Amino acid sequence: MNIAAVAELIGDPSRAAMLNALFDSRALPAGELAYRARISPQTASTHLAKLVAGGLLTLTREGRHRYYKLASAEVAHALEVLATLAPPAPVRSLRESIVTEQLRLARTCYDHLAGKLGVALTQALVDGQILTVCDQNFCVTRDGAQVLTNFGLDLAAVQRRRRAFARQCLDWSERRYHLAGGLGTAIMERLLELEWIQQLPTGRAIRVTDGGRDGLRQEFGLHW
């Protein structure tokens, strides 16, 4: 297990900035990642090639364009855990301050909800006995399975996904667990489908709509 090799890949500030830009599970072109990392396209290409070779990113070609995304949810989970150990990044402008506050309030963590919203929703699911903590993960109770089915989730399909079903993910801003895994993804997808939440133009930030506030209160007892 060569942890040092992975740490070296992540440890470069430019590569770390590009990995962070891909944290919402979208694929971005090389030019956009170069802009996010504040480096030249040529330098970005070198860094991206190393991240692909190291198994942290995947590359998709569409014509002359190259699109990159995180290789898996496991990569995102590792980055989220590292973020809990990292010191806060310096805020250099009012815009950065606003974006940081939006991310702390509600954001995507790769393909599930995080921030105050993600943690609060997870706690509401536990308080409502929909989820219970088991073996450092979450399990769905018998009554909870019916609630989630009525909410519109196909739990059997979620379980067939080749990944953890309901994993605890330590939130870097709240220092508490939010729901990850296939179930976390399915819940976020359903909330987006119902238009209870919307992604903000800033990328990972999420806002709860008026209908979402009512729906979350009625469905899960979450007052937002």
Question: How far is residue 162 CA from its own chain's centroid?
Answer: 18
**pLDDT at position 93:** 76
Task: Supply φ then ψ for residue 130, to 5 degrees.
Answer: -85, -40
Counted domains in the chain? 2
Same domain (yes/no): 26, 130: no
Per-residue pLDDT of the chain (224 residues; tens, 9 = 90+): 678 888 889 989 999 999 988 987 789 999 999 998 999 999 999 999 999 999 999 999 988 889 999 998 888 888 887 887 777 667 677 777 777 888 899 999 888 999 999 999 999 999 999 999 998 899 999 999 999 999 999 999 999 886 789 999 999 899 999 999 999 999 999 999 999 999 887 678 999 999 999 999 999 999 99
**pLDDT at position 166:** 95
Give me the CATH number covering residue 52. 1.10.10.10
Q: Are 164 and 110 in contact (CB under 8 A)?
A: no
Same domain (yes/no): 63, 98: no
One-letter amino acid for residue 105 of the chain = L
Composition of the chain by helix, strand, coil, percent to 5: 50, 20, 30
Long-range contact list for 52-57, CB < 8 A, 24+ apart? 54/5, 54/6, 54/9, 56/6, 56/9, 56/10, 56/19, 57/19, 57/22
**Residue 84, in any domain of the structure:** no
Same domain (yes/no): 158, 194: yes
Same domain (yes/no): 99, 182: yes
**pLDDT at position 96:** 73
**pLDDT at position 202:** 62
Q: Are 203 and 144 in contact (CB under 8 A)?
A: no
Range(s) of the domain holding residue 129:
94-220
